[in-house]
Amino acid sequence: MPSPDVAQSAAAQRPLTSFDPQIRRLLAGMTLDEKIGQMAQPDQEFLKSPEEVKSYFLGSLLSGGDSDPRAGNGLTAWTDMIDGYQKAAVTTRLRIPILYGIDAVHGHNNVIGATIFPHNIGMGATRDPGLVERAARITSEEVRATGANWVFAPCVTVPQDIRWGRTYEGFSESPDVVKALGAAAVRGLQRDSLDDPLAVLACVKHFVGDGGTAWGSSGKGMLDQGDTRVDEATLRRIHLPGYVTTVKAGAGTIMPSYSSWNGEKVSGSEKLMTGILKNEIGFQGFLISDYAAIDQLPGNYKQQITRSINAGMDMVMIPKKYVEFITTLKQCVQEGQLPMVRIDDAVTRILRTKFALGLMNAKRSPLADRGLHNAFGSEGHRAVARECVRASLVLLKNDNQALPLANSAAHIHVAGKSADDLGNQCGGWTIRWQGASGRPTDGTTILEAVQRAVSPKTRVTTSVDGSGVGDAKIAIAVIGEKPYAEGMGDTADLHLAPEDVATVTRLKNSGAKVIAVILSGRPVFIEDILPHADAVVAAWLPGSEGDGVADVLFGTYKPTGKLSFTWPKASSTTLHRGDAGYETLFDFGTGLSY
Ligand code: BGC
Ligand code: BGC
């Protein structure tokens, strides 16, 4: 077992360029079709059959947020599917295995039964790089159990406006927190060495400034995929530091953002991708475009491909029109719009990661190690997630020492739409791309955790709306946001839902002491409930282990979490940090304890 202090002891990764002599020899024998195949990444859901991996010499596949195995969503179905593609890859002429990429952004979150960790916003509140690294090591092991070898994580976005639907994917609004925790996540995912059979290739995203977009600048009128209108000094100060530390930690891949910088799409920016990232920071791995992102560049498909690859993109997440991509890219090369040296550089960068992962070692099987299935979602893994949960909770209010609760109380009432809802507790990017209320996977809800934590004499009753408190002197309300992901989560209105406010008010009117637990992907406006709650806990999107919440409510562990985002007042006229009209309710760094 890795020691908890791995953060300090992690050795530096072998430099990716050290594989270049072998790669040069391999490249010399590759046809143009084989090179182009390495640069193409379709989403598996659009392939007609695994045979296409062979016929197009595909170098990589992904599963997008809803791209599940046709045989279902369990561990075996995932493993069989990914192995099926890998088996096709190793029967090609050059036997180059594929990189299989997936959004394991808080655990291996597409697979039923995986350990689901708090989303990054909660991990940010822990301020604990060692814990982030241990969580990432477990994610890498569970991903490896299914045969995937590449994750689109960590997200080192630095969100500046919490109306953005991806706020929770960021550790913090502060580059200092992001810098430290992003690097820790890379060390955990890639371990001490990428050729550790339990390591996965990390992908730092979304380069750069994805969290800095101006309100109203996105296609849909809000923030996601919009335009970051800041000068270069600001871009470097706020949005770039996370890339410097993660590249230093050995990150093998980086995903350029859908968003623009001062009107120019990052996916087409030579200055950002080649100038700053590759030449200045010295990134030796490869760039993978975001999902159909190059289709958003100006011009026709030829122009989009040429522009992006000439600017430094190495692999393209297509995801659907792979035949058109392959054909068009080939034309661009044959017509001289894309120089062969750029193609060779892109393929070299991709192959570096394959060598580093040990995939090019013919004595090592690229298939899943099914021996890892035993520990998938195991008690031991969940114990670490539980530790993350309790360290991520931020106590915002605690009048008259309302918390901790005595676990010997005669009667506790647990209310609220999210009290017994694992899906709301996990948020977006959990089994479904957008997440789903209900019970999408295995885990423990907060209601179940309270039931487990109390003494056998304690009666625990429950209601969704806070009615029927009866003689309970303690009432816990679990309220907040429902799951969302990406642009669907953009919103102009961060007020709590009226039913949440009604639940808390009803509880207060019953005369009970009220503990409000807020599940949300960002700070939300809580003025409507603040006068009615004796204690308020921001629990973010804690994931599958509700026990971590009970640990803190009952005082087994004292709260240590600190806000990694400023918490605004509802009276704010803007929620873009630093702009006039932004009013603060709780400062960055707030967090009470007992
Ligand atoms: C998201 C990325 C994600 C990719 C693959 C995109 O829409 O922006 O964060 O890695 O899809 O699912
Ligand atoms: C996919 C996501 C992807 C999104 C991009 C969805 O269909 O499942 O992974 O991020 O499309 O718009």
295 is catalytic: no
Q: Which atom of ligand 2 is nearest to the CA of 291?
A: 5
Strands (E), 434-500: 459-463, 474-480
Cα–chain center distance at 548: 20
Per-residue pLDDT of the chain (594 residues; tens, 9 = 90+): 333 334 444 457 999 999 999 999 999 999 999 999 999 999 999 999 999 999 999 999 999 999 999 999 999 999 999 999 999 999 999 999 999 999 999 999 999 999 999 999 999 999 999 999 999 999 999 999 999 999 999 999 999 999 999 999 999 999 999 999 999 999 999 999 999 999 999 999 999 999 999 999 998 889 999 999 999 999 999 999 999 999 999 999 999 999 999 999 999 999 999 999 999 999 999 999 999 999 999 999 999 999 999 999 999 999 999 999 999 999 999 999 999 999 999 999 999 999 999 999 999 999 999 999 999 999 999 999 999 999 999 999 999 999 999 999 999 999 999 999 999 999 999 999 999 999 999 999 999 999 999 999 999 999 999 999 999 999 999 999 999 999 999 999 999 999 999 999 999 999 999 999 999 999 999 999 999 999 999 999 999 999 999 999 999 999 999 999 999 999 999 999 999 999 999 999 999 999
Q: Which atom of ligand 2 is nearest to the CA of 433?
A: 8
Q: Both 39 and 140 in a single domain?
A: yes
Q: Whose CA is nearest to atom 4 of ligand 1?
A: 291
Residue 285 per-residue DSSP state: S
Q: Whose CA is nearest to atom 6 of ligand 1?
A: 291
Q: Whose CA is nearest to atom 8 of ligand 1?
A: 290
- Give residue 486's domain range: 393-586
Q: Both 342 and 441 in a single domain?
A: no
169 is catalytic: no
Q: Both 233 and 93 in a single domain?
A: yes
Q: Both 66 and 205 in a single domain?
A: yes
pTM beyond 0.95, yes or no? yes
Which ligand does the CA of 66 lie closest to?
2
The three-state secondary structure class of 73 is coil
Q: Is the CB of 290 under 6 A from ligand 1?
A: yes
152 C-alpha to ligand 1 centroid (Å): 8
Q: Both 324 and 424 in a single domain?
A: no
Say which amino acid occupies 92: T
The three-state secondary structure class of 592 is strand
CATH classification of the domain holding 470: 3.40.50.1700
Contact 516, 538 (CB under 8 A): no
Contact 460, 412 (CB under 8 A): yes
Q: Which atom of ligand 2 is nearest to the CA of 66?
A: 8
Q: Both 303 and 401 in a single domain?
A: no
Domains contained in the chain, number: 2
Tokens of 94: 């050059």
Nearest Cα neighbor of 243 from 315, 145, 151, 156 is: 156
DSSP state string for 409-452? -SEEEEESTTTT-HHHHH-SSBSBTT--SS-SSS-B-HHHHHHH
Residue 97 per-residue DSSP state: P
CB atoms within 10 A of CB 295: 16
Cis status of the peptide bond prior to 206, with omega within 30 of 0: yes
254 C-alpha to ligand 1 centroid (Å): 12
Q: Is the CB of 43 under 6 A from ligand 1?
A: no
Q: Give the burial string for 250-268 (b: 16+ CB within 10 Å, else e).
A: bbbbbbbbbbbbeebbbbb
Say which amino acid occupies 517: V
What is the crossing angle of helices 129-145 and 175-190, to 10°? 40
Nearest Cα neighbor of 424 from 343, 333, 541 is: 541
Maximum CA pair distance of the chain? Answer: 80
Pairwise CA distance, residues 123 & 169, whole Å: 10
64 C-alpha to ligand 2 centroid (Å): 5
Pairwise CA distance, residues 308 & 423, whole Å: 38
Q: Which atom of ligand 2 is nearest to the CA of 63?
A: 9
Pairwise CA distance, residues 49 & 42, whole Å: 12
Q: Is the CB of 210 under 6 A from ligand 1?
A: no
313 C-alpha to ligand 1 centroid (Å): 16
Q: Both 77 and 212 in a single domain?
A: yes
Q: How many CA atoms lie within 13 A of 89 on its CB side?
A: 22
Q: What are the strands of the beta sheet with 60-63, ordered from one edge?
A: 60-63, 99-102, 150-151
Q: Whose CA is nearest to atom 12 of ligand 1?
A: 64
CATH classification of the domain holding 361: 3.20.20.300
Q: Both 265 and 337 in a single domain?
A: yes
Which ligand does the CA of 219 lie closest to?
2
List pocket residues of ligand 2, CB cut-off 6 Å: 64-67, 291, 433
Domain boundary among 307, 342, 374: 374
Is 47 part of any domain?
yes
Tokens of 182: 């992003």
Q: Which of 43, 255, 433 for a ligand 2 pocket mutation test, highest count of atoms within 8 Å of Cβ?
A: 433
| 68, 128, 486, 500: the active-site residue | 486
Nearest Cα neighbor of 63 from 429, 508, 351 is: 429
Q: How far is CA 65 from CA 105, 391, 485, in A?
A: 11, 28, 10
Contact 440, 430 (CB under 8 A): yes
Q: Is the CB of 291 under 6 A from ligand 1?
A: yes
Q: Both 226 and 356 in a single domain?
A: yes
348 C-alpha to ligand 2 centroid (Å): 28
Q: Which atom of ligand 1 is nearest to the CA of 433?
A: 12
Q: Both 159 and 292 in a single domain?
A: yes
Pairwise CA distance, residues 385 & 398, whole Å: 25
Tokens of 408: 């010997």
